[in-house]
Amino acid sequence: MADYSMTRSDISANQRKYYDHRTWLEQRQQHTPPTIVEIEPDIGEIVQLAFTAHDGAQEITSGRDRAAGLMIRLIPLALFLLVLAVGAGLLVHALTQTDTIYAVIVGALLFGWLCLRAYHRESLRDYEFSRAGLERHRVDAAASLREQEMEYQFRLRKMLLKHQLRLLESLDNDRPT
């Protein structure tokens, strides 16, 4: 005859052939450690890095060297734009049946405009990755982080004030008159 005097805690897990939720809850309640909430690091420590300048970087190229390098990098692009402008001029001449001088003027204007746009874009890119560009990016990032921080502080203060007003109103409503 089977011995039914054993309690649930006396039966080991490998002897049980089915899932018993009550036993699982009992074991979980016995072995649950107290919950400890980890304190996250202050965001100010991380944000503070955006406010410090990078002293290790040094600019060793002059403006003249940078401009010469920019012009050398633009030569293949200018040749491509010249071919594109000549093609556009020929297309204008073929479609409008005007004098050749108008097609040349359209091609020259298109070539000049495209070259100026390319020069401007490449010059901005060159400045963006220079030391001055990185410093400007650092200042912009620091300003946006500070603005965000002030906005969050404002929201928190507003929420706190609303909560305090609701608390005071509920206390006024609870008082006997």
Tell me the C-alpha distance between 54 and 138, whole Å: 9
Domain borders along the chain are 62-129
Q: Are 144 and 114 in contact (CB under 8 A)?
A: no
pLDDT at 156: 92
At 120-159, the pLDDT tens digits run: 998 888 877 777 777 778 888 888 888 998 999 999 999 9
Phi-psi category of residue 102: left, alpha or beta, with phi > 0 → left and psi -120 to 50 → alpha: alpha
Write out the chain's pLDDT in tens, 177 residues.
445 555 555 555 555 566 677 777 777 677 655 566 566 656 555 566 666 666 665 667 777 888 888 889 889 988 998 888 888 888 888 888 878 888 888 888 888 998 999 999 988 888 777 777 777 788 888 888 889 989 999 999 999 999 988 888 887 777 665
Model-level pTM?
0.43
Amino acid at 149: E
pLDDT at 107: 85
Which residue, among 66, 47, 45, 48, has the nearest Cα to 132 in the 3D structure? 66
pLDDT at 1: 46
